[in-house]
Amino acid sequence: MELVRGLHNLRPRHRGCVATIGNFDGVHAGHQAILKRLRSHSARMGLPGCVVIFEPQPREYFAPNAAPPRLTRLRDKLMLLEAEGVDRVLCLAFNRRLRELSAEEFVQQVLIDGLGVKHLEVGDDFRFGCDRSGDFAFLEGSGERHGFTVEAANTVAESGDRISSTRLRQVLADGDFELAERLLGRPFSISGRVMYGQQLGRTLGAPTANVQLKRLHAPLKGVFRVSAVLDEDPFKGSHQGVANIGMRPTVEGDGQPHLEVHLLDFKGNLYGRHLTVLFHEKLRDEQRFDSLDALQAAITADIAAARAQWASDSNK
């Protein structure tokens, strides 16, 4: 899969494709349905399938502090899009210039001059352009004038409700990981590099790998039953574990949320390795304990609860 950053990096060879546009945060089952249609039009027309995304996502640009949490960082989003068979991603910087483009200018500059789009696939509620003035009817009209076809994919729903990134954020915040897995088509995960922590975990009887969240504003907090894959290689096996996402109020953290993972029965150095943490169940909320002994007892109980659930799963 090819990543093109910015319109200025498009070359004549990039012209002629089938495309779709959106945030694709989480690459959930609704997105996957659109991407499946993109693949089939791409095969039918013998043209590459291109996804146009924005970075930052528009709401992060408009309200950096009030934007909703991210389900996927750019890196993970790109890996998931590649796994869905996307040939090319055009990542546009969402900035003042882009936000001020009218729907007409967006079509002309991005779809026609930039990509030479021959077919556009969008969701039925898709809107774009300055003040979200461009909709499906507008695109159909543009398509007739500029020579591309447009198709609106039907809404993909689960239990009667539309699947969306917004809904997933709520489902994760509620700790409903079974539903999250159905909406995503895979368990929810966060990945990152393991960095040095305060090295306190080992004295608590549970050494933890501190996974770098960087600027990721995680959509969940609390203590979870997890599994983890090392270096993105599922063939190296997945490890069972428990994890905490929070501020670590008992040990006076650094004011930043951390993702800390304790892998059960694992010995080895994880510093600098890449860890993908898959979330299976919420065990409890993070708490401020009066002593490190009380925290240690709580973590021991978390580990026991996780082990009991794994054991019951394997007996099913």
Ligand X SMILES: Cc1cc2nc3c(=O)[nH]c(=O)nc-3n(C[C@H](O)[C@H](O)[C@H](O)COP(=O)(O)O)c2cc1C
Ligand Y SMILES: Nc1ncnc2c1ncn2[C@@H]1O[C@H](COP(=O)(O)OP(=O)(O)OP(=O)(O)O)[C@@H](O)[C@H]1O
State the nearest-atom distance from the C-beta of 313 to ligand X, in Å. 18
Nearest residue to ligand Y, scored by beta-carbon proximity: 123
Number of residues interacting with ligand X: please give it, by CB under 6 A: 24
State the nearest-atom distance from the C-beta of 75 to ligand X, in Å. 24
State the nearest-atom distance from the C-beta of 283 to ligand X, in Å. 7
41-49, 153-161, 207-215, 226-234 -> range binding ligand Y (CB under 6 A): 153-161
| Cα angle for residues 158, 56, 234 (degrees, 5° grid) | 60
Q: Which is nearer to ligand X, 74 or 247 (CB)?
A: 247
State the nearest-atom distance from the C-beta of 90 to ligand X, in Å. 40
Per-residue interface string for the shown chain with ligand X, residues 151-190, x marking contact by CB under 6 A: ----------------------------------------
Distance CA 38, CA 43 (A): 9
Does position 192 interact with ligand X (CB under 6 A)? The reply is: no
Number of residues interacting with ligand Y: please give it, by CB under 6 A: 20
Residues 20 to 59: which contact ligand Y by CB under 6 A?
22-25, 30-31, 33-34
Does position 210 interact with ligand X (CB under 6 A)? The reply is: yes
Work out which of 166, 199, 287, 300 binds ligand Y, going by CB under 6 A. 166
Per-residue interface string for the shown chain with ligand X, residues 224-263, x marking contact by CB under 6 A: ------------------x-x---xxxx--------x-x-
Per-residue interface string for the shown chain with ligand X, residues 270-289, x marking contact by CB under 6 A: ----------------xx--
Query: With CB cut-offs between 5 and 8 Å by kind, which of ligand Y, ligand X, none does residue 104 bind?
Result: none
State the nearest-atom distance from the C-beta of 159 to ligand Y, in Å. 12
**Ramachandran angles phi, psi of 275, nearest 5°:** -120, 130
Query: With CB cut-offs between 5 and 8 Å by kind, which of ligand X, ligand Y, none does residue 30 bind?
Result: ligand Y
- In the structure encoding, which two tokens stand for residue 51, read together? 């996804």
- HEC states along the chain? CEEEECHHHCCHHHCCEEEEECCCCCCCHHHHHHHHHHHHHHHHHCCCEEEEEEECCHHHHHCCCCCCCCCCCHHHHHHHHHHCCCCEEEEEECCHHHHCCCHHHHHHHHHHHHCCEEEEEEECCCCECHHHCECHHHHHHHHHHHCCEEEEECCCEECCEECCHHHHHHHHHCCCHHHHHHHHCCCCEEEEEEECCCCCHHHHCCCCEEECCCCCCCCCCEEEEEEEEECCCHHHCEEEEEEEEECCHHHCCCCCCEEEEEECCCCCCCCCCEEEEEEEEEEECCCCCCCHHHHHHHHHHHHHHHHHHHHHHHCC
Nearest alpha carbon to residue 17 among 114, 115, 160: 115
Q: Contact positions toward ligand X, by CB under 6 A?
A: 197-201, 204, 206, 208, 210, 223, 242, 244, 248-251, 260, 262, 286-287, 295, 298-299, 302
Q: Contact positions toward ligand Y, by CB under 6 A?
A: 22-25, 30-31, 33-34, 122-123, 125-126, 153, 155-156, 162-166
